[in-house]
Amino acid sequence: MVRTILVVGAGKSTSYLLDYLLKKSTEEQLRLIIGDLRPENIPGEIASHPNCDVIQLDILNDDARKKAIEVSSLVISMLPPRMHIKIAQDCIVYKKHLVTASYVSKEIEALDAEAKKNGLVFMNEIGLDPGIDHMSAMEVIDRIRDKGGKMLLFESFTGGLVAPENDSNLWSYKFTWNPRNVVVAAQGGAAKFIQEGSYKYIPYQKIFRRTELVEIEGYGDFEVYPNRDSLKYREAYGLEDALTLFRGTMRRVGFSKAWHIFVMLGMTDDTYVVENSEGMSYREFVNLFLPYSPTDSVELKLRHYLKIDQDDIRWGKLLELNLFDDSKKIPLKNATPAQMLQYILEDSWTLNPDEKDMIVMYHKFGYELDGKKKQLDANMVVLGENQTFTAMAKTVGLPVAMAALQILNKKIVTPGVQIPIAKEVYRPILEELKSYGIHFNEYQVPYLGYNPDSIGN
């Protein structure tokens, strides 16, 4: 019997997802329907596959959306998080399983009872981060507990970066996923975590100045800034008694200090519109946020305002982005500062067709076993192939596709709104991911506990 999978949204993170499902389609008797607002952007080799149909789908069109969901066995939503709820509600009505890579929203969580009542699996947070981080963390935590160990510390950091051979700018960074998410990262409240039993709350305007260093063998040093809310996973992971719980984002050393300039100027603000944004030059954009002066140049005003010397590496990073160019124009009408900054950054930080990205993930587990404190470090590095088959698309898309197939094959059967922290979910997916080069290297190291140089001071 043919099972139909509806994939809604075919953006940057779906190349491996679609490739995986289509390669399995004949063996697993799968029919793939790809619904996208712009179906013409679907690669020809995907659209022409005999087990695939591509349709134009606007999810705000209720009739079209419901019709597509009704004929499906399972729905994968790769849309922005705010758009999942309409699909999820239809999945309840038509009794369809749902898989997303997004964080569980309050609206989706409210559907838990109905999903359980109808025997439906609503799997969320099954991408990279969140996703692989959940599964790999719980695999180790469960292993430690099965031996009788007690968790004391858990730290988890992830970064989507450019591969070393294509690290060609002063920021050591290029966009490997939705640029908007990078520009507005860490907004929406203070970063919250616990370190050595002490609660920490870092406001947005300070987050990029409170970093710690991490070394990944073979890849050098990275810096980490805290994610918005590390504490919300304390209960899910069973870490209520842990002294440290900290999740963060990895960048190359020096990125955060330079990014802090944009935060301080107000360029990452997404709450208001710049009425005359269309046609504004990069230089005029910078000048929006600086004091008026009849004599001083934009460059001089910015350096004085932020106390940046001309030989400061951060100044070189700003110059590299052509921020003071009066000939480059922003074509966006009624755009927010964040949207305007995103346009400028995409001009410099877009991967070329043959360039590769890199995913880095690092976990630190501190625990007590047989009366002794121990520490296990684990890291994962995945390199992309090119601009289309990126490491980001691989690590986001493959877990989503694997989970969908496991649900259809009744290997994942526990119903309800959930994240991938149960053994029935993470064991088969982590094992299969190894065959795609996605795996962790583990190191038993001396227990360090409190780090006096960390952001937790």
Q: Where along the chain do its domains lie?
A: 3-124, 132-255+353-391+437-445, 273-335
pLDDT at 452 over 50: no
CB environment 349-381: b (16+ within 10 A), e (fewer) = bebeeebbbbbbbbbbbbbeeeeeebbbbbbbb
Q: Are 3-124 and 132-255+353-391+437-445 in the same CATH fold?
A: no
Furthest-apart CA atoms within the chain: distance in Å? 76
3-124 carries CATH number 3.40.50.720: yes
- Cα 165 to chain centroid distance, Å, stands at 23
How is domain 132-255+353-391+437-445 classified at the CATH fold level?
A: Dihydrodipicolinate Reductase; domain 2 (3.30.360)
pLDDT band of 151, cuts 50, 70, 90:
very high
DSSP β-bridge partners for residue 251: 223
Decide: 330 and 338 in contact? Cβ < 8 Å: no
Question: Residue 343 and residue 359: Cα distance in Å, rounded?
Answer: 23
Q: pTM of the predicted model, to two decimals? A: 0.90
Provide the mean pLDDT of the chain.
93
Residue corresponding to tokens 């591969």: 163
Phi and psi at 162, nearest 5°, equal -90, 145
The encoded tokens of residue 210 equal 């409170």
Q: Tell me how long the chain is.
A: 457
The encoded tokens of residue 351 equal 């991967």
Query: Where on the phi/psi map is residue 73: left (φ > 0), alpha (ψ -120 to 50), or beta?
Result: alpha
Residue range 263-273: mean pLDDT, rounded: 95
Q: What is the pLDDT of residues 375-390, one digit of tens each?
A: 999 999 999 999 889 9
pLDDT band of 291, cuts 50, 70, 90:
very high
Helix, strand, coil % over all residues of the chain, rounded to 5: 35, 25, 35
Least confident residue range of 65-79, 114-128, 180-194, 252-266: 180-194
Question: Residue 140 and residue 146: Cα distance in Å, rounded?
Answer: 10
pLDDT at 451 over 80: no
Residue 135, pLDDT score: 97
